[in-house]
Amino acid sequence: MAKEFEPNIIGFLCNWCSYAGADLAGTSRIKYPPNIKSIRVMCSGRVDTVFILEALRKGADGVLIAGCHPGDCHYQSGNYKTNRRIRLLKKFLNDMGVEPERVRFEYVSASEGQKFAQVVTDFVNQLKKLGPTPLKEIA
């Protein structure tokens, strides 16, 4: 039997909201797919586009960036700037011929364990349809 494609997801979670949100999902025993590998960053604004590209090249099929809701950023404006950057990157990836859906930016607050699980489940389902990334490094 052919094995179903299991996408790899790298998640960059902001320390103040989304990482706590993911933690809440865990402690509340909400079920979500194990495809995501979380990396804690101090702010979603820390996520440079080079990180995203590196992740995609090193075998991730999708990259999730999660930060605080607008206005809630611990550093005032980090998430707004990330929004701009990711918006632009997605447009650009589209022009390069990489599906922009592989990169996803979401607002997940510390109390939204349910939303975090929802986002990850959605994302995994989406990536299963897309298949592996074309950017993958030639070893």
Residue 62 parent element (H or E) = strand 62-67
Site track for other proteins across 33-52, x = CB under 8 A: ----------------xx--
Paired with 62 in beta bridges are 9
| Token digits of residue 83 | 């929004």
Among 89, 103, 110, 127, indicate the residue that binds other proteins (CB under 8 A).
Answer: 89
**What is the number of residues in the chain?**
139
> Is 9 in contact with 127 (CB distance < 8 Å)?
yes
- The one segment of 10-18, 22-30, 82-90, 121-129 that binds other proteins by CB under 8 A: 82-90
Binding site for other proteins (CB under 8 A): 49-50, 53-54, 57, 69-71, 77, 80-81, 83-85, 87-89, 91-92, 94-99, 106-107, 134-138
